[in-house]
Structure 1
Amino acid sequence: MNDRSPAPELIAPSTRGNESAILNAALDAFGEQGFNGASMRDIARGARTSLSNLYNYFPSKSELLAELLRRANDEQLARTRHAANAEATTAAERLRAAVKAYVGFVVDHQVAALVAISEIRYLAGKNREHVVEARDQTQAIFEEIVADGVSAGEFTTPYPGDAARNITAMCSAISTWYRPEGRLSKTQLAEEQSRYALALLEARP
């Protein structure tokens, strides 16, 4: 498949009636108007359902946002973990694979990635805790790879923890500026970001 082809769906059709239509409408609304700007009525209209039916599925906007971010985090974590656990003999190879998987997710699901970094501030309590916990699992993959690389002498950075956090921040920030019609394809962008990440870690040639 051409890497400028349409991305796979984050929210596939659901067996629960209008659930997928509601979630997709919410994603569009939060992406265009932000959490505060979007109303439940806007989301119901986008999903072509009634407001009362929307509340049957999700009792609040916060619950909708939490479910969207849960699904986005689950997909991102699965991609990153699979890439990091694939056959690789060095920490540098694992790091490159993990970065490319992370970037691939951001490009494929740019609106979801952008909503995840810009709207999480509106979550509180258990909803926020669950999203943060999922994010921490993805972060831990990078921290482990970096720690292994430092121990093996592949990476010479004296700041492994900070470097790992900066790598994920760099990748997630792509959602704020990437344009599909830009000069870099998804593959090219992922390669570029992986080189930046290795430079940040002061990887040995």
Structure 2
Amino acid sequence: MNSRSLGLLRDGGRGNDAAILQAALEAFGAKGFHGASMRDIARGAGTSLSNLYNYFPSKSDVLAELLRMANDELLARITEAVNAAGEEPPDRLSAAVRAHVAFVVDHQIASLVALTEVRYLAGVARTNVVAARDSTQSIYEKIVAAGAASGQFRTPYPDDAARNIVSMCSAISTWYRPGGRLSKRELGEQHARYALALLEAELPG
């Protein structure tokens, strides 16, 4: 697992909250939601089980907070990249994909947990996480819709294509290994090209 994903918590957490969330992220990444226990999390955070429950009443609450933090950072990165990319849909789409890929590489454990463990949330926690994911998805959908309207994206399936681009970027968390053949930048460029090809757009030279 990529320890750089734990930087997510140093950016967004504080004090005991951060220690608990970092320990939870490690536990969920190593054992999955069901395999990890609150006792594992408390041990990793260097605190007692009773103190852990003062911060998070249940394991689901810990997972929901981790997923909220991950999506908040992902959304912020993609939004910033798209806003800096100008007005052309291909440029905006490529910028979104590069930012998305960079997030997954930087925060691989958090990305993997978000991809595989959200199914264990229910009720309001799940509703909130899904709504946050929809906010990120909608950025792609708007860009793809604009490109389809202008004729720059020729796919007859713009909605499906947008969903598949998001899935493609998220899936990197399941196989990426630091020190592999491609750098983070090269991986982002490669996936931006994949996304444009999927949309039947003109590819850069």
Match of 1:63 in 2: 61
Task: Map 1:174-193 onto structure 2 (within 5 A).
Answer: 174-193=172-191
Q: How many residues align?
A: 202
Is the 2:38–2:49 contact (alpha carbons within 8 Å) kept by the matching residues of 1?
A: yes
For residue 17 of structure 1, report the CA deviation from its aligned partner.
Answer: 3.4
Structure 1 stretches lacking a partner, 5+ long: 1-5
Residues 159 and 15 (structure 1), Cα distance of their counterparts in 2 relative to 1, 3 Å cut: closer
* Whole-Å separation in 2 of the counterparts to 1:41 and 1:53: 11
Alignment check: 8 A CA contact 1:96 1:194 kept:
yes
- Root-mean-square deviation (CA, aligned residues, Å) is 1.8
Structure having the higher helix fraction is 2
Verify: 1:49 aligned to 2:47, yes or no: yes
Report the equivalent of 2:151: 153
Distance 1:145 1:15, change over 3 A: closer
Return the alpha-carbon distance in structure 2 between the equivalents of residues 174 and 77 of structure 1.
17
Q: Distance in 2 between matches of 1:87 and 1:41?
A: 46
Structure 2: runs of 5+ lacking an equivalent:
none
Task: Give the % identical residues.
Answer: 66
Task: Give the Cα–Cα distance (whole angstroms) in 1 for the partners of residues 45 and 11 of structure 2.
Answer: 12
Q: Secondary structure at the match of 2:7?
A: coil
The 1:81/1:181 distance shift into structure 2, 3 A limit, reads: same
The superposition leaves residues 89-148 of structure 1 with CA deviations (integer Å, 9 ceiling, x where unpaired) of 310000000000000100000000000010001000000000000000000000000000
Do 2:6 and 2:25's aligned partners in 1 also have CA atoms closer than 8 Å? Answer: no
Q: 1:42 to 1:176 in 2, by over 3 A?
A: same
Question: Which of residues 138, 150, 160 in structure 2 aligns to 1:140?
Answer: 138
Any conservation in 2 of the 1:13–1:21 contact (CA below 8 Å)?
no
Contact 1:13 1:20 in 2 (8 A): no
CA distance in 1, matches of 2:133, 2:148: 23
The runs of 4+ residues in structure 1 deviating greater than 6 Å are none
Moved more, 13-22 or 122-131: 13-22
Matched, 1:114 2:112: yes
Question: Residues 13 and 71 (structure 1 numbering): CA distance in 2 closer, same or farther, change over 3 Å?
Answer: closer
**TM-score, structure 2 normalization:** 0.94
* TM-score with structure 1 setting the length: 0.94
1:170 aligns with 2:168: yes
1:31 to 13, 29, 46: 29
The code of the aligned residue for 1:24 comes to: Q
Distance 1:178 1:101 in 2: 16
C-alpha separation in 1, matches of 2:91 and 2:198: 15
